[in-house]
Chain A
Amino acid sequence: MAEKEVVKKGIIALVIVLAIISLGSVYFLRQRIEAPIVSGPGVTKISMLSDYFEGLKGSRADTEVYFLEGEEPGGTMLLMCGTHPCEPDTLLSAVMFIENAIVKAGRLIVVPRAQKTGYEQTQPGRGYPPRFHIKQDGDNMRWFRMGNRTMDAAISWPNPTVYVHYPEGQTLAEGETLNLNRNHPGRPNGRLTEKLGHAIISLIKKENIDVSIDPHEAPPDRPLVSAICAHERAVDVATLSVLNMESIWGVRVRLEMSPKNLRALSHREWGDHSQTLAMLIETPSPMHGPIRGKATEKLLLDAIDELELRAAKAGRVFCPYDEKGYPISVRNARHVQHYIEIASAWTELNPDKPIIIENIPTYTEIVENGVGHYLAVVEEPEPWLFPIPGIREFFFNEGRPFWGYGSGWTYDKVLGAKPR
């Protein structure tokens, strides 16, 4: 009898745990749902990064590579976006090109989510919202994931306490073993992040990529912000792009040289281990920096933070920062226009291998009309926590979730733009 009681209570305990696991699993698995990206008129081919390195095949780090090929021959440009999934506009800028760009001459290769597993989680302890929403024309809201800076630690376990970079031997902190931008050029028999770095350099070599861009966002209190960091062979192209950004669009971007003794980063290793001209671009966003308040979707979209303003007034920031912040439309416009200026600078300096990209809105157009105006309308509903009919309406009251943040924020409420 006593034994039957023990078994009965044990079964109750297991049922309780299985119920907890089921609810938690739904949330974890929901984070792996990717935001849809629509192939635009210029996309000619979609392949996988594992096509360039077999070791990535079947892993969660394998990711899509979009090709936009022009009818006329020319140079090849690579946009390696999403290296840090906690920097939301890098993905948005890639989506802008995939869904709009038409390449007239040369080729454009876009990797929208280079660090794919980073989009399946957010950074522990940072309190990021899991996703953000871009308002489009009408009532449509396009959702995207906000991710972690690094690869999912669980799939790359165990990590060394001191990370020794291959092949240069530079030592870095343990956390950097999972940071893709500290695992270039990688190696074929290393950890998953190193394999991912190796796949990227293989792509660059096999496709003979002439210009490679690694876009990022940085908080205003970080030294490398509102800047382009170029490998020494890429200085001419980078300089010309910076001059055009300032003279034509009024956007001041600092030009930095890639330090030769700072290894493992894209702008150094891509240029040293391949023929490509490697550049890294940073636009300002306080979201993932140390000086900021609550990490809300509002902060992600408008980049206005009281604590960052205080730091700016105390002279502790490295780029202009005021009450206007850096709305997502401005950050996206800076990224997008700078890619176009880099392509134009390459074409001017290498007229025999032009890269001509059309059908992309200008800096001014994106700032005025917003990012959502130029993204494809996706009617697929945003996946929610529980696939139970009516549950979303129960929890949401007038578009605002009861827990205070999330898909209740709308872009037009943040910036006051009128719905179209």
Chain B
Amino acid sequence: MDIFGFYNILYRVIYIYVIGMCIWSIFTHKEFQRQIGYAMIMVPFLLRVLGIK
């Protein structure tokens, strides 16, 4: 595996961590606007991890 393959795995791990933290935040905050905010932040990371964009 070359360095670019390593970068590929590294950023996916980081993004999955970010997605996990967002989901955790959604279910630990009481205000609905915060929950929506964390959910919206998750969108680009999810699109990237799923390989859609």
Contact = CB atoms under 8 A, between A and B. Distances in A.
A10 B30 contact: no
Contact of B30 (A2, A17, A20, A24): A2
A9 B35 contact: yes
Contacts of B30: 2, 5-6
Interface residues of A, number: 23
B47 A21 contact: yes
B27 A10 contact: yes
Contact of B52 (A16, A17, A29, A158): A29
Contact of B43 (A6, A20, A29, A192): A20
A105 to B, nearest CB: 43
A25 interface: yes
Contacts of A10: 26-27, 35
Interface in B6-49: 7, 11, 23, 26-30, 32, 35-36, 38-40, 42-43, 46-48
A154 interface: yes
Given A24-B47, A157-B7, A9 B32 contact: yes
Given A21-B46, A24-B47, A14 B7 contact: no
A5 B35 CA distance: 12
Contacts of B29: 6
B42 A17 contact: yes
Label chain B's interface by main secondary structure: helix
A10 B24 CA distance: 10
Given A14-B39, A157-B7, A28 B26 contact: no
Contact of A13 (B4, B39, B48, B53): B39
Contacts of A16: 36, 39
Interface string A15-58: 01100110011001100000000000000000000000000000
A192 B29 CA distance: 42
Q: Which of A2, A12, A13, A17 has the most CB of B within 10 A?
A: A13
Contact of A25 (B32, B35, B39, B52): B52
Contact of A158 (B7, B26, B42, B46): B7
A17 B45 CA distance: 12
A13 B32 contact: yes
Contacts of A162: none
A191 interface: yes
Given A6-B29, A9-B32, A16-B36, A21 B7 contact: no
A9 B39 CA distance: 11
B9 to A, nearest CB: 13
Interface residues of B, number: 24
Interface string A143-164: 0000000000010011000000
A10 B29 CA distance: 9
A191 B7 CA distance: 11
Contacts of B27: 6-7, 10
A13 B52 contact: no
A189 interface: yes
Nearest to B7: A158
Contacts of B46: 17, 21
A13 B35 contact: yes
Interface string A77-90: 00000000000000
A157 to B, nearest CB: 7
Contacts of B47: 21, 24-25, 28
B34 to A, nearest CB: 9
Nearest to B35: A13
B4 A17 contact: no
Contacts of A12: 32
Contact of A157 (B11, B36, B43): B11
Contacts of A28: 47, 52-53
A7 to B, nearest CB: 6
A21 to B, nearest CB: 6
Nearest to A191: B4
Q: Which of B7, B35, B43 has the most CB of A within 10 A?
A: B35
A13 B38 contact: yes
Shortest Cβ-Cβ A-B pairs, 10 listed:
A13-B39, A17-B39, A13-B35, A10-B26, A10-B27, A25-B52, A9-B32, A28-B53, A13-B36, A28-B52
11 contacts: A6-B28, A12-B32, A13-B35, A13-B38, A16-B36, A21-B46, A24-B43, A24-B47, A25-B50, A154-B53, A191-B4
